[in-house]
Structure 1
């Protein structure tokens, strides 16, 4: 998992329309909150995404852009995005899962995809990083909001 205070890795992902999305595209302009969904069928992950949708306007007001990363194909990600009515970019990786890029590889004999959240400030520094095998431990909205508040108080 990424270390808090370390530079974020360059991540090149693909959105549901097939467009390339790079973390560096946001550098110098916006902080980025990446939420890594364990599986699109995971009810806890879906609740966490809906929490992000609920606070999306507040995050945007704090200059934070939300990106949702899912394992699997672009087509499956697009179908899930439409079903869940996710207003944020939903991303996949071209070769592997986006999760691998931040150290959220599969655990428990390679069977369990990990979920997690990463907040990267506008300068490209990791300010929050949380990952877990069980999806209940991969997202802490209160902790994320506290870090964002410290970065950009209103």
Structure 2
């Protein structure tokens, strides 16, 4: 296994066009002119990913007021994302990347430690993309719990 290339502040954000929970294509380019938080998570409806998504949901009004949109991306199929969205009352787009091409391009899929073993998987990661499509904040191996509050402190929201 080899280390995945990671993005840093100032890098151009890799473009994507992925289906959302309803099968509608969402592109990063759709958000040009606004800041957007793009976060990658391993699996919908798991305890940690549910906590993280609900934290974003609960902070969405303040984030939107500060000019930030939120997009969540996982390898889950749209049908699973729709169930997750509906069960948890999520009001931001959840995008499906089953081939893990976008996850890999953003450095959010690759080698990670899990229970002391090195495995291939989704690296829980969060990015803030500026109005021009550049990475403003890149955070890898974030914690599911408390992460949104920390991010809000980091970006003064």
Q: TM-score, normalising length from structure 2?
A: 0.81
- 2:119 paired residue among 106, 109, 123: 109
1:23 maps to 2:32: no
Residue 147 of structure 1, CA deviation? 4.5
Give the secondary structure class of the aligned counterpart of 2:71.
Answer: strand
Distance in 1 (CA, whole Å) between partners of 2:146 and 2:102 is 16
Moved more, 72-81 or 135-144: 135-144
Question: Gaps spanning 5+ residues in structure 1: where?
Answer: none
> Which ranges in structure 2 are unaligned for 5 or more consecutive residues?
1-5, 112-117
**Tell me, what secondary structure is at the counterpart of 1:106?**
strand
Query: Do the aligned partners of residues 98 and 81 (structure 1) sit closer, same or farther apart at CA in structure 2, a change above 3 Å counting?
Result: farther
Shift of 1:121: 1.1
Query: How far is the alpha carbon of 1:5 from its aligned partner?
Result: 1.4
Q: Which has the higher strand share?
A: 2
**What CA distance in whole angstroms lies between the structure 2 residues aligned with 1:60 and 1:92?**
22
Kindly indicate whether residue 11 of structure 2 is the aligned counterpart of residue 6 of structure 1: yes
Deviations 1:22-50 (A, max 9, x none): 1111112x101012122124312211111
- When the two chains are superposed, the root-mean-square deviation of aligned CA atoms in Å is 2.2
Q: 2:37 touches 2:68 (CA, 8 Å); kept in 1? A: yes
The 5 Å alignment of 1:1-154 reads 1-28=6-33, 30-93=34-97, 95-96=99-100, 98-107=102-111, 108-110=118-120, 112-132=121-141, 136=143, 140-149=147-156
How many pairs are equivalent? 146
Looking at structure 1, the residues matched to 143 and 28 of structure 2 have their Cα atoms a distance apart, in angstroms, of: 26
How high is the TM-score relative to the length of structure 1? 0.82
